[in-house]
Structure 1
Amino acid sequence: MALSEQRLGELAAELAAVPGVAGVLLGGSRARGTHTPDSDTDLGIYYRRPVDVAALGELARRFGGPGAQVTPLGEWGPWVDGGGWLTVDGAAVDWIYRDVDRVAHAWADAEQGRYAFHAQAGHPLGVPDFAYPGELALGVVLADPAGELAALRARMRVYPPALRDALVAGLWEADFLVGVAREAVTRGDAAYVAGCLFRLTGVCAHALHGAAGRWLINEKGAIAAAAALPGAPPRFRERTDAVFAAVDGDPVHLTVALDAAADLVLETADACAMMTR
Protein backbone atom coordinates (compact mmCIF):
# COMPACT_ATOMS: atom_id res chain seq x y z
CA MET A 1 0.00 0.00 0.00
CA ALA A 2 1.11 3.56 -0.67
CA LEU A 3 1.63 6.17 2.00
CA SER A 4 -1.33 8.58 2.14
CA GLU A 5 -0.90 12.14 0.93
CA GLN A 6 -1.76 13.47 4.39
CA ARG A 7 0.82 11.29 6.08
CA LEU A 8 3.39 12.19 3.45
CA GLY A 9 2.81 15.88 4.11
CA GLU A 10 3.15 15.40 7.86
CA LEU A 11 6.41 13.51 7.43
CA ALA A 12 7.88 16.13 5.07
CA ALA A 13 6.99 18.96 7.45
CA GLU A 14 8.61 17.16 10.39
CA LEU A 15 11.75 16.44 8.36
CA ALA A 16 12.06 20.06 7.28
CA ALA A 17 12.02 21.14 10.93
CA VAL A 18 15.18 19.13 11.72
CA PRO A 19 18.23 21.40 12.12
CA GLY A 20 20.33 21.31 8.96
CA VAL A 21 17.53 20.10 6.67
CA ALA A 22 16.88 22.61 3.88
CA GLY A 23 13.93 20.84 2.28
CA VAL A 24 12.26 17.60 1.25
CA LEU A 25 11.64 16.34 -2.29
CA LEU A 26 9.37 13.56 -3.48
CA GLY A 27 11.10 11.55 -6.19
CA GLY A 28 10.78 8.27 -8.04
CA SER A 29 7.64 6.88 -9.62
CA ARG A 30 5.34 8.66 -7.19
CA ALA A 31 6.67 12.05 -8.29
CA ARG A 32 6.11 11.03 -11.92
CA GLY A 33 2.62 9.70 -11.24
CA THR A 34 3.54 6.20 -12.44
CA HIS A 35 3.60 4.49 -9.04
CA THR A 36 1.60 1.43 -8.05
CA PRO A 37 0.33 0.45 -4.59
CA ASP A 38 3.54 -1.58 -4.15
CA SER A 39 5.93 1.23 -5.11
CA ASP A 40 8.35 2.68 -2.59
CA THR A 41 8.04 6.34 -1.68
CA ASP A 42 11.38 8.09 -2.25
CA LEU A 43 12.11 11.19 -0.20
CA GLY A 44 15.17 13.30 -0.84
CA ILE A 45 16.30 14.99 2.36
CA TYR A 46 18.25 18.06 1.27
CA TYR A 47 20.66 19.22 3.93
CA ARG A 48 23.45 21.60 4.67
CA ARG A 49 26.12 20.60 7.21
CA PRO A 50 25.90 20.29 10.12
CA VAL A 51 22.68 18.29 10.08
CA ASP A 52 21.18 16.78 13.23
CA VAL A 53 21.33 13.08 12.33
CA ALA A 54 20.25 12.11 15.86
CA ALA A 55 17.06 14.11 15.40
CA LEU A 56 16.49 12.38 12.06
CA GLY A 57 16.85 9.04 13.84
CA GLU A 58 14.30 10.02 16.47
CA LEU A 59 11.90 11.09 13.73
CA ALA A 60 12.44 7.82 11.86
CA ARG A 61 11.55 5.82 14.95
CA ARG A 62 8.48 7.97 15.58
CA PHE A 63 7.12 7.34 12.11
CA GLY A 64 8.65 3.95 11.36
CA GLY A 65 8.72 2.18 14.70
CA PRO A 66 11.40 1.45 17.29
CA GLY A 67 13.57 -0.52 14.87
CA ALA A 68 13.84 2.23 12.29
CA GLN A 69 17.35 3.58 11.71
CA VAL A 70 19.09 6.22 9.63
CA THR A 71 22.74 6.34 8.64
CA PRO A 72 25.39 8.95 9.34
CA LEU A 73 26.28 11.21 6.41
CA GLY A 74 28.42 9.35 3.89
CA GLU A 75 27.56 5.86 5.14
CA TRP A 76 26.36 4.55 1.75
CA GLY A 77 29.12 6.02 -0.35
CA PRO A 78 30.26 9.24 -1.96
CA TRP A 79 27.22 9.98 -4.13
CA VAL A 80 24.30 8.21 -2.47
CA ASP A 81 25.55 9.39 0.84
CA GLY A 82 23.10 7.89 3.30
CA GLY A 83 19.54 7.82 4.54
CA GLY A 84 17.22 5.11 5.74
CA TRP A 85 14.81 2.39 4.64
CA LEU A 86 11.62 2.77 6.64
CA THR A 87 8.19 1.23 6.78
CA VAL A 88 5.59 3.86 7.61
CA ASP A 89 1.96 2.82 8.00
CA GLY A 90 2.81 -0.41 6.18
CA ALA A 91 4.38 1.42 3.22
CA ALA A 92 8.04 1.40 2.20
CA VAL A 93 9.55 4.88 2.49
CA ASP A 94 13.16 5.55 1.50
CA TRP A 95 15.02 8.54 2.89
CA ILE A 96 17.97 9.64 0.75
CA TYR A 97 20.34 12.39 1.83
CA ARG A 98 21.28 15.12 -0.63
CA ASP A 99 23.79 17.90 0.08
CA VAL A 100 22.06 21.00 -1.30
CA ASP A 101 25.36 22.79 -1.96
CA ARG A 102 26.63 19.81 -3.91
CA VAL A 103 23.44 19.80 -5.96
CA ALA A 104 24.03 23.46 -6.83
CA HIS A 105 27.62 22.67 -7.81
CA ALA A 106 26.50 19.76 -10.01
CA TRP A 107 24.05 22.09 -11.73
CA ALA A 108 26.78 24.65 -12.38
CA ASP A 109 28.90 21.91 -13.98
CA ALA A 110 25.95 20.71 -16.09
CA GLU A 111 25.41 24.25 -17.36
CA GLN A 112 29.01 24.22 -18.58
CA GLY A 113 28.74 20.76 -20.13
CA ARG A 114 30.92 19.11 -17.50
CA TYR A 115 29.87 15.70 -16.20
CA ALA A 116 31.25 12.36 -15.03
CA PHE A 117 29.99 8.97 -13.89
CA HIS A 118 31.08 8.28 -10.32
CA ALA A 119 31.65 4.91 -8.65
CA GLN A 120 28.90 4.04 -6.19
CA ALA A 121 27.67 0.76 -4.75
CA GLY A 122 24.55 -0.42 -6.54
CA HIS A 123 25.24 1.68 -9.65
CA PRO A 124 27.22 -0.40 -12.15
CA LEU A 125 27.42 2.42 -14.72
CA GLY A 126 28.18 4.96 -12.01
CA VAL A 127 26.19 7.90 -10.69
CA PRO A 128 26.17 10.79 -13.16
CA ASP A 129 26.69 14.01 -11.23
CA PHE A 130 23.97 15.67 -13.31
CA ALA A 131 21.51 13.26 -11.69
CA TYR A 132 21.46 15.64 -8.72
CA PRO A 133 19.87 18.55 -10.63
CA GLY A 134 17.86 16.05 -12.67
CA GLU A 135 16.24 14.68 -9.52
CA LEU A 136 15.28 18.16 -8.44
CA ALA A 137 13.94 19.07 -11.87
CA LEU A 138 11.76 15.93 -12.05
CA GLY A 139 10.70 15.74 -8.40
CA VAL A 140 7.95 17.36 -6.36
CA VAL A 141 8.97 19.76 -3.60
CA LEU A 142 7.12 18.80 -0.41
CA ALA A 143 8.79 21.11 2.09
CA ASP A 144 11.03 24.08 1.43
CA PRO A 145 11.01 26.54 4.36
CA ALA A 146 13.49 29.03 2.91
CA GLY A 147 12.55 28.50 -0.74
CA GLU A 148 16.00 27.10 -1.63
CA LEU A 149 14.75 24.07 -3.53
CA ALA A 150 12.21 26.09 -5.47
CA ALA A 151 14.87 28.62 -6.44
CA LEU A 152 17.22 25.90 -7.66
CA ARG A 153 14.43 24.07 -9.46
CA ALA A 154 13.39 27.23 -11.31
CA ARG A 155 16.87 27.39 -12.86
CA MET A 156 16.56 23.79 -14.06
CA ARG A 157 13.42 24.21 -16.14
CA VAL A 158 15.49 24.38 -19.31
CA TYR A 159 17.81 21.43 -19.99
CA PRO A 160 21.38 22.79 -20.34
CA PRO A 161 22.39 22.95 -24.02
CA ALA A 162 26.03 22.44 -23.06
CA LEU A 163 25.17 19.20 -21.25
CA ARG A 164 23.20 18.04 -24.28
CA ASP A 165 26.18 18.62 -26.53
CA ALA A 166 28.61 16.97 -24.10
CA LEU A 167 26.52 13.80 -23.73
CA VAL A 168 26.17 13.46 -27.48
CA ALA A 169 29.90 14.03 -27.92
CA GLY A 170 30.43 11.33 -25.29
CA LEU A 171 29.37 8.72 -27.83
CA TRP A 172 33.06 8.45 -28.75
CA GLU A 173 33.36 6.16 -25.73
CA ALA A 174 30.70 3.78 -27.02
CA ASP A 175 32.57 3.44 -30.31
CA PHE A 176 35.84 2.94 -28.42
CA LEU A 177 34.26 0.21 -26.29
CA VAL A 178 33.29 -1.78 -29.36
CA GLY A 179 36.94 -1.80 -30.42
CA VAL A 180 38.40 -2.84 -27.07
CA ALA A 181 35.73 -5.51 -26.59
CA ARG A 182 36.66 -7.09 -29.92
CA GLU A 183 40.13 -7.76 -28.52
CA ALA A 184 38.55 -10.12 -25.96
CA VAL A 185 36.58 -12.16 -28.50
CA THR A 186 39.27 -14.69 -29.37
CA ARG A 187 39.72 -15.42 -25.66
CA GLY A 188 36.00 -16.02 -25.29
CA ASP A 189 36.01 -13.49 -22.45
CA ALA A 190 32.25 -13.05 -22.22
CA ALA A 191 32.41 -11.23 -18.88
CA TYR A 192 34.65 -8.48 -20.24
CA VAL A 193 32.58 -8.14 -23.40
CA ALA A 194 29.39 -7.95 -21.33
CA GLY A 195 30.90 -5.20 -19.19
CA CYS A 196 31.87 -3.19 -22.25
CA LEU A 197 28.41 -3.66 -23.72
CA PHE A 198 26.69 -2.55 -20.53
CA ARG A 199 28.64 0.68 -20.43
CA LEU A 200 28.25 1.16 -24.19
CA THR A 201 24.47 0.92 -24.03
CA GLY A 202 24.38 3.23 -21.01
CA VAL A 203 26.43 5.85 -22.86
CA CYS A 204 24.01 5.57 -25.79
CA ALA A 205 20.97 5.95 -23.54
CA HIS A 206 22.42 9.09 -21.96
CA ALA A 207 23.34 10.54 -25.35
CA LEU A 208 19.79 10.02 -26.62
CA HIS A 209 18.31 11.65 -23.52
CA GLY A 210 20.73 14.53 -23.81
CA ALA A 211 19.84 15.05 -27.47
CA ALA A 212 16.17 15.05 -26.52
CA GLY A 213 16.74 17.44 -23.61
CA ARG A 214 15.41 14.91 -21.10
CA TRP A 215 16.92 14.11 -17.72
CA LEU A 216 18.06 10.51 -17.22
CA ILE A 217 18.87 9.94 -13.57
CA ASN A 218 18.72 6.17 -13.07
CA GLU A 219 20.24 3.14 -14.78
CA LYS A 220 17.11 1.13 -14.03
CA GLY A 221 14.85 1.33 -17.05
CA ALA A 222 17.32 3.53 -18.94
CA ILE A 223 17.17 1.49 -22.15
CA ALA A 224 13.37 1.39 -22.17
CA ALA A 225 13.25 5.13 -21.49
CA ALA A 226 15.67 5.81 -24.35
CA ALA A 227 13.67 3.60 -26.69
CA ALA A 228 10.54 5.62 -25.92
CA LEU A 229 12.12 8.93 -26.94
CA PRO A 230 10.86 10.43 -30.20
CA GLY A 231 13.58 9.92 -32.77
CA ALA A 232 15.34 7.03 -31.01
CA PRO A 233 16.74 4.27 -33.26
CA PRO A 234 14.03 1.80 -34.30
CA ARG A 235 13.46 -1.08 -31.87
CA PHE A 236 16.24 0.23 -29.66
CA ARG A 237 15.17 -1.77 -26.62
CA GLU A 238 14.59 -5.05 -28.46
CA ARG A 239 17.88 -4.78 -30.31
CA THR A 240 19.76 -3.99 -27.11
CA ASP A 241 18.21 -7.05 -25.45
CA ALA A 242 19.29 -9.16 -28.44
CA VAL A 243 22.87 -7.92 -28.07
CA PHE A 244 23.06 -9.18 -24.51
CA ALA A 245 21.27 -12.43 -25.36
CA ALA A 246 24.11 -13.24 -27.76
CA VAL A 247 26.82 -12.94 -25.12
CA ASP A 248 28.34 -16.26 -24.17
CA GLY A 249 31.74 -17.86 -24.43
CA ASP A 250 31.44 -18.58 -28.15
CA PRO A 251 33.64 -16.15 -30.17
CA VAL A 252 31.19 -16.31 -33.06
CA HIS A 253 28.31 -15.21 -30.83
CA LEU A 254 30.42 -12.48 -29.24
CA THR A 255 31.28 -11.13 -32.68
CA VAL A 256 27.59 -11.10 -33.61
CA ALA A 257 26.81 -9.17 -30.41
CA LEU A 258 29.53 -6.60 -31.05
CA ASP A 259 28.56 -6.14 -34.68
CA ALA A 260 24.98 -5.45 -33.57
CA ALA A 261 26.21 -3.09 -30.87
CA ALA A 262 28.35 -1.21 -33.39
CA ASP A 263 25.27 -0.72 -35.56
CA LEU A 264 23.36 0.64 -32.55
CA VAL A 265 26.13 3.11 -31.79
CA LEU A 266 26.12 4.39 -35.37
CA GLU A 267 22.34 4.71 -35.40
CA THR A 268 22.39 6.43 -32.02
CA ALA A 269 24.84 9.00 -33.38
CA ASP A 270 22.61 9.56 -36.40
CA ALA A 271 19.51 9.84 -34.21
CA CYS A 272 21.21 12.36 -31.91
CA ALA A 273 22.28 14.43 -34.91
CA MET A 274 18.71 14.53 -36.17
CA MET A 275 17.30 15.36 -32.73
CA THR A 276 19.67 18.29 -32.21
CA ARG A 277 19.29 19.90 -35.64
Structure 2
Amino acid sequence: MDRLMAIASRLAGIGGVVGVCLGGSRARGTHRPDSDYDLGLYYRAPLDTAALRVLAAELTGARVEVTEPGGWGPWVNGGAWLTMDGLQIDWIYRDLDRVHRIWRECQIGQFEVGVQAGHPLGVYSHAYVGELSLGRVLADPTRELVALQQETRCYPQPLRAALIANARWAVPFTLSGARKGAARGDAFYTAGCLFRVVGLLVHALHAEAECWVLNEKGAVQSAGALPIAPADFDARAHALFGALATTPASLNARLDDAEALATDVWDKLS
Protein backbone atom coordinates (compact mmCIF):
# COMPACT_ATOMS: atom_id res chain seq x y z
CA MET A 1 0.00 0.00 0.00
CA ASP A 2 2.88 2.40 0.69
CA ARG A 3 4.03 1.94 -2.89
CA LEU A 4 0.54 2.66 -4.21
CA MET A 5 0.36 5.79 -2.10
CA ALA A 6 3.68 6.94 -3.50
CA ILE A 7 2.50 6.31 -7.08
CA ALA A 8 -0.78 8.11 -6.40
CA SER A 9 1.10 11.09 -5.00
CA ARG A 10 3.20 11.36 -8.13
CA LEU A 11 0.14 11.00 -10.36
CA ALA A 12 -1.59 13.82 -8.49
CA GLY A 13 1.31 16.07 -9.42
CA ILE A 14 0.72 15.63 -13.15
CA GLY A 15 -1.10 18.33 -15.03
CA GLY A 16 -4.85 17.80 -15.13
CA VAL A 17 -4.97 15.10 -12.43
CA VAL A 18 -7.12 16.28 -9.53
CA GLY A 19 -6.90 13.13 -7.43
CA VAL A 20 -6.40 9.36 -7.42
CA CYS A 21 -8.72 6.73 -6.00
CA LEU A 22 -8.19 2.99 -5.55
CA GLY A 23 -11.24 1.15 -6.88
CA GLY A 24 -12.46 -2.33 -7.69
CA SER A 25 -12.15 -5.36 -5.47
CA ARG A 26 -8.93 -4.06 -3.86
CA ALA A 27 -10.81 -1.09 -2.43
CA ARG A 28 -13.75 -3.19 -1.24
CA GLY A 29 -11.66 -5.99 0.29
CA THR A 30 -13.16 -8.64 -2.00
CA HIS A 31 -10.02 -9.19 -4.08
CA ARG A 32 -8.19 -12.40 -4.90
CA PRO A 33 -4.38 -12.65 -4.73
CA ASP A 34 -4.18 -12.12 -8.50
CA SER A 35 -6.60 -9.18 -8.65
CA ASP A 36 -5.45 -6.01 -10.40
CA TYR A 37 -5.04 -2.68 -8.65
CA ASP A 38 -7.40 -0.19 -10.28
CA LEU A 39 -6.32 3.42 -9.86
CA GLY A 40 -8.91 5.94 -10.96
CA LEU A 41 -7.25 9.11 -12.27
CA TYR A 42 -9.82 11.86 -11.76
CA TYR A 43 -8.88 14.69 -14.09
CA ARG A 44 -9.87 17.92 -15.77
CA ALA A 45 -8.74 18.69 -19.28
CA PRO A 46 -6.15 19.20 -20.47
CA LEU A 47 -4.62 15.99 -19.12
CA ASP A 48 -0.84 15.80 -19.52
CA THR A 49 -0.64 12.34 -21.09
CA ALA A 50 2.97 12.94 -22.13
CA ALA A 51 3.93 13.22 -18.46
CA LEU A 52 1.90 10.10 -17.71
CA ARG A 53 3.91 8.20 -20.34
CA VAL A 54 7.17 9.33 -18.81
CA LEU A 55 6.04 8.24 -15.33
CA ALA A 56 4.74 4.90 -16.61
CA ALA A 57 8.07 4.15 -18.31
CA GLU A 58 9.98 5.10 -15.17
CA LEU A 59 7.83 2.90 -12.93
CA THR A 60 7.91 -0.16 -15.18
CA GLY A 61 11.27 0.19 -16.90
CA ALA A 62 9.57 -0.24 -20.26
CA ARG A 63 7.53 1.68 -22.77
CA VAL A 64 3.85 1.66 -21.79
CA GLU A 65 0.91 2.53 -23.99
CA VAL A 66 -0.89 5.41 -22.32
CA THR A 67 -4.03 6.50 -24.16
CA GLU A 68 -5.53 9.89 -24.70
CA PRO A 69 -8.91 10.48 -23.01
CA GLY A 70 -11.49 8.49 -24.97
CA GLY A 71 -8.92 5.95 -26.12
CA TRP A 72 -10.82 2.99 -24.69
CA GLY A 73 -14.31 4.15 -25.53
CA PRO A 74 -16.97 6.56 -24.33
CA TRP A 75 -17.26 5.24 -20.76
CA VAL A 76 -14.08 3.37 -19.83
CA ASN A 77 -12.45 6.33 -21.43
CA GLY A 78 -8.74 5.60 -21.34
CA GLY A 79 -5.70 4.95 -19.22
CA ALA A 80 -2.89 2.41 -19.14
CA TRP A 81 -2.04 -1.10 -18.00
CA LEU A 82 1.17 -1.33 -16.00
CA THR A 83 3.11 -4.34 -14.73
CA MET A 84 5.41 -3.66 -11.81
CA ASP A 85 7.27 -6.52 -10.13
CA GLY A 86 4.50 -8.91 -11.14
CA LEU A 87 1.71 -6.61 -9.98
CA GLN A 88 -0.93 -5.46 -12.45
CA ILE A 89 -1.77 -1.80 -11.89
CA ASP A 90 -4.39 -0.16 -14.10
CA TRP A 91 -4.71 3.57 -14.60
CA ILE A 92 -8.29 4.43 -15.51
CA TYR A 93 -9.31 7.95 -16.50
CA ARG A 94 -12.37 9.58 -15.02
CA ASP A 95 -13.44 13.05 -16.15
CA LEU A 96 -14.24 14.66 -12.80
CA ASP A 97 -16.67 17.21 -14.21
CA ARG A 98 -18.59 14.33 -15.81
CA VAL A 99 -18.72 12.54 -12.45
CA HIS A 100 -20.13 15.68 -10.84
CA ARG A 101 -22.74 15.97 -13.60
CA ILE A 102 -23.80 12.35 -13.24
CA TRP A 103 -24.08 12.77 -9.48
CA ARG A 104 -26.42 15.72 -9.99
CA GLU A 105 -28.50 13.59 -12.37
CA CYS A 106 -28.64 10.74 -9.85
CA GLN A 107 -30.11 13.10 -7.29
CA ILE A 108 -33.07 13.83 -9.57
CA GLY A 109 -33.55 10.22 -10.68
CA GLN A 110 -31.86 10.37 -14.06
CA PHE A 111 -29.45 7.81 -15.48
CA GLU A 112 -28.33 6.52 -18.86
CA VAL A 113 -26.90 3.26 -20.15
CA GLY A 114 -23.97 3.51 -22.54
CA VAL A 115 -22.45 1.04 -24.98
CA GLN A 116 -18.90 0.06 -24.02
CA ALA A 117 -16.63 -2.81 -25.05
CA GLY A 118 -16.30 -5.31 -22.22
CA HIS A 119 -19.65 -4.39 -20.69
CA PRO A 120 -22.33 -6.58 -22.30
CA LEU A 121 -25.13 -5.09 -20.20
CA GLY A 122 -23.87 -1.58 -20.89
CA VAL A 123 -22.39 0.97 -18.50
CA TYR A 124 -25.01 2.44 -16.19
CA SER A 125 -23.98 6.04 -15.67
CA HIS A 126 -24.36 5.96 -11.90
CA ALA A 127 -21.50 3.44 -11.76
CA TYR A 128 -19.22 6.49 -12.00
CA VAL A 129 -20.66 7.71 -8.71
CA GLY A 130 -20.54 4.26 -7.14
CA GLU A 131 -16.86 3.88 -8.00
CA LEU A 132 -15.97 6.95 -6.01
CA SER A 133 -18.41 6.19 -3.21
CA LEU A 134 -16.94 2.72 -2.65
CA GLY A 135 -13.35 3.60 -3.49
CA ARG A 136 -10.38 4.52 -1.33
CA VAL A 137 -8.99 7.98 -2.00
CA LEU A 138 -5.19 7.81 -2.15
CA ALA A 139 -4.29 11.32 -3.29
CA ASP A 140 -6.52 14.39 -3.15
CA PRO A 141 -4.57 17.64 -2.72
CA THR A 142 -7.65 19.89 -3.01
CA ARG A 143 -9.94 17.56 -1.02
CA GLU A 144 -12.46 17.62 -3.86
CA LEU A 145 -12.68 13.84 -4.14
CA VAL A 146 -13.21 13.35 -0.42
CA ALA A 147 -15.95 15.97 -0.36
CA LEU A 148 -17.77 14.39 -3.29
CA GLN A 149 -17.29 10.93 -1.84
CA GLN A 150 -18.95 11.99 1.39
CA GLU A 151 -21.97 13.24 -0.58
CA THR A 152 -22.32 9.97 -2.47
CA ARG A 153 -22.40 7.86 0.66
CA CYS A 154 -26.13 8.68 0.85
CA TYR A 155 -27.88 6.78 -1.95
CA PRO A 156 -30.32 9.11 -3.75
CA GLN A 157 -33.96 8.10 -3.32
CA PRO A 158 -34.96 9.47 -6.76
CA LEU A 159 -32.36 7.18 -8.37
CA ARG A 160 -33.63 4.24 -6.35
CA ALA A 161 -37.20 4.89 -7.54
CA ALA A 162 -36.11 5.38 -11.17
CA LEU A 163 -34.14 2.13 -11.37
CA ILE A 164 -36.98 0.11 -9.85
CA ALA A 165 -39.58 1.75 -12.11
CA ASN A 166 -37.39 1.08 -15.14
CA ALA A 167 -37.11 -2.60 -14.26
CA ARG A 168 -40.84 -2.95 -13.62
CA TRP A 169 -41.75 -2.00 -17.19
CA ALA A 170 -38.63 -3.18 -19.04
CA VAL A 171 -38.62 -6.73 -17.67
CA PRO A 172 -42.12 -7.74 -18.84
CA PHE A 173 -41.59 -5.86 -22.11
CA THR A 174 -38.33 -7.73 -22.76
CA LEU A 175 -39.82 -11.10 -21.84
CA SER A 176 -42.77 -10.47 -24.14
CA GLY A 177 -40.40 -9.84 -27.03
CA ALA A 178 -38.37 -12.90 -26.09
CA ARG A 179 -41.45 -15.09 -26.55
CA LYS A 180 -41.42 -14.23 -30.25
CA GLY A 181 -37.84 -15.36 -30.57
CA ALA A 182 -38.52 -18.50 -28.57
CA ALA A 183 -41.38 -19.41 -30.91
CA ARG A 184 -38.82 -19.50 -33.75
CA GLY A 185 -36.27 -21.48 -31.74
CA ASP A 186 -33.97 -18.44 -31.69
CA ALA A 187 -31.74 -19.25 -28.73
CA PHE A 188 -29.40 -16.33 -29.46
CA TYR A 189 -32.12 -13.69 -29.18
CA THR A 190 -33.79 -15.41 -26.24
CA ALA A 191 -30.50 -15.63 -24.35
CA GLY A 192 -29.86 -11.94 -24.93
CA CYS A 193 -33.28 -11.08 -23.54
CA LEU A 194 -32.72 -13.29 -20.50
CA PHE A 195 -29.37 -11.61 -19.83
CA ARG A 196 -30.98 -8.18 -19.96
CA VAL A 197 -33.84 -9.26 -17.71
CA VAL A 198 -31.46 -10.57 -15.05
CA GLY A 199 -29.42 -7.37 -15.29
CA LEU A 200 -32.53 -5.25 -14.73
CA LEU A 201 -33.50 -7.33 -11.72
CA VAL A 202 -29.99 -7.03 -10.30
CA HIS A 203 -30.11 -3.25 -10.57
CA ALA A 204 -33.58 -3.11 -9.03
CA LEU A 205 -32.54 -5.22 -6.04
CA HIS A 206 -29.41 -3.15 -5.44
CA ALA A 207 -31.40 0.05 -5.74
CA GLU A 208 -33.95 -1.17 -3.21
CA ALA A 209 -31.07 -2.01 -0.86
CA GLU A 210 -29.45 1.38 -1.64
CA CYS A 211 -26.26 -0.26 -2.87
CA TRP A 212 -24.17 0.80 -5.86
CA VAL A 213 -23.65 -1.57 -8.80
CA LEU A 214 -20.37 -0.95 -10.64
CA ASN A 215 -20.49 -3.50 -13.46
CA GLU A 216 -21.78 -6.94 -14.45
CA LYS A 217 -18.94 -8.97 -12.91
CA GLY A 218 -20.16 -10.67 -9.74
CA ALA A 219 -23.36 -8.60 -9.80
CA VAL A 220 -25.70 -11.61 -9.67
CA GLN A 221 -23.91 -13.07 -6.65
CA SER A 222 -23.92 -9.63 -5.02
CA ALA A 223 -27.67 -9.31 -5.58
CA GLY A 224 -28.25 -12.78 -4.20
CA ALA A 225 -26.41 -11.86 -1.01
CA LEU A 226 -28.66 -8.88 -0.31
CA PRO A 227 -31.06 -9.46 2.62
CA ILE A 228 -34.03 -8.48 0.44
CA ALA A 229 -33.20 -10.91 -2.39
CA PRO A 230 -35.57 -13.82 -3.08
CA ALA A 231 -34.32 -17.20 -1.90
CA ASP A 232 -31.66 -18.68 -4.20
CA PHE A 233 -31.78 -15.64 -6.48
CA ASP A 234 -28.26 -16.14 -7.82
CA ALA A 235 -28.67 -19.89 -8.41
CA ARG A 236 -32.01 -19.38 -10.17
CA ALA A 237 -30.61 -16.55 -12.30
CA HIS A 238 -27.57 -18.53 -13.38
CA ALA A 239 -29.70 -21.57 -14.15
CA LEU A 240 -31.47 -19.57 -16.87
CA PHE A 241 -28.32 -19.73 -18.99
CA GLY A 242 -27.39 -23.38 -18.61
CA ALA A 243 -27.17 -25.01 -22.07
CA LEU A 244 -30.11 -23.27 -23.71
CA ALA A 245 -31.76 -25.60 -26.22
CA THR A 246 -33.23 -24.40 -29.52
CA THR A 247 -36.73 -25.79 -29.32
CA PRO A 248 -39.61 -23.39 -28.67
CA ALA A 249 -40.78 -25.49 -25.74
CA SER A 250 -37.43 -25.44 -23.95
CA LEU A 251 -36.85 -21.76 -24.56
CA ASN A 252 -40.33 -20.87 -23.33
CA ALA A 253 -39.71 -22.94 -20.22
CA ARG A 254 -36.68 -20.78 -19.42
CA LEU A 255 -38.75 -17.66 -19.99
CA ASP A 256 -41.35 -19.04 -17.58
CA ASP A 257 -38.58 -19.44 -15.00
CA ALA A 258 -37.45 -15.86 -15.62
CA GLU A 259 -41.00 -14.55 -15.17
CA ALA A 260 -41.29 -16.46 -11.89
CA LEU A 261 -38.00 -15.02 -10.69
CA ALA A 262 -39.11 -11.50 -11.62
CA THR A 263 -42.40 -11.99 -9.75
CA ASP A 264 -40.48 -12.98 -6.64
CA VAL A 265 -38.28 -9.89 -6.99
CA TRP A 266 -41.34 -7.61 -7.31
CA ASP A 267 -42.68 -9.10 -4.08
CA LYS A 268 -39.52 -7.94 -2.31
CA LEU A 269 -39.59 -4.36 -3.56
CA SER A 270 -41.43 -1.60 -1.75
Q: Does the alignment reach a TM-score above 0.5? A: yes
Amino acid at match of 2:35: S
Q: Which residue is equivalent to 2:110?
A: 114
Tell me how far apart the structure 1 counterparts of residues 224 and 246 of structure 2 sit (CA, whole Å): 28
Aligned residues: CA RMSD? 0.9
- Which stretches in structure 2 are left out of the alignment for 5+ residues? none
Q: Which residue is equivalent to 1:166?
A: 162
Change in CA separation of 1:58 and 1:142 when aligned onto 2, cut-off 3 Å:
same
Q: How many corresponding residue pairs?
A: 269
Q: Which residue is equivalent to 1:153?
A: 149
Instruction: Give the TM-score normalised by structure 1.
Output: 0.95
1:126 and 2:122 are equivalent in the alignment: yes
Tell me how far apart the structure 1 counterparts of residues 263 and 113 of structure 2 sit (CA, whole Å): 22
Tell me how far apart the structure 2 counterparts of residues 36 and 247 of structure 1 sit (CA, whole Å): 31
Task: Give 1:37 deviation, angstroms.
Answer: 2.1
Q: Which residue is equivalent to 2:264?
A: 267
Is the contact made by 1:12 and 1:142 (CA closer than 8 Å) also made in structure 2?
yes
Aligned partner of 2:74 among 70, 75, 78 = 78
Tell me how far apart the structure 1 counterparts of residues 180 and 33 of structure 2 sit (CA, whole Å): 47
Matched residue SS, 2:182: coil
Amino acid at match of 2:95: D
1:198 and 2:195 are equivalent in the alignment: yes
Q: Which residue is equivalent to 1:182?
A: 179
For residues 110-134 of structure 1, give each alpha carbon's deviation from its aligned partner in whole angstroms, at most 9, with x where no partner exists: 1111012110111111101000110
Amino acid at match of 1:102: R
Instruction: Give the TM-score normalised by structure 2.
Output: 0.98
1:13 and 2:9 are equivalent in the alignment: yes
Q: Which residue is equivalent to 2:42?
A: 46
Task: Give 1:246 deviation, angstroms.
Answer: 5.4
Is the contact made by 1:60 and 1:86 (CA closer than 8 Å) also made in structure 2?
yes
Q: Which residue is equivalent to 1:95?
A: 91
Of 146-155 and 134-143, more deviation after overlay is shown by: 146-155
Q: Give structure 1 regions of 4+ aligned residues with deviation exceeding 4 angstroms.
A: none
Q: Which residue is equivalent to 2:244?
A: 247
Task: Give 1:146 deviation, angstroms.
Answer: 0.7
Question: Could you tell me the percent identity over the aligned residues?
Answer: 52
Tell me how far apart the structure 1 counterparts of residues 229 and 266 of structure 2 sit (CA, whole Å): 10
Tell me how far apart the structure 2 counterparts of residues 60 and 97 of structure 1 sit (CA, whole Å): 14
Matched residue SS, 1:185: helix
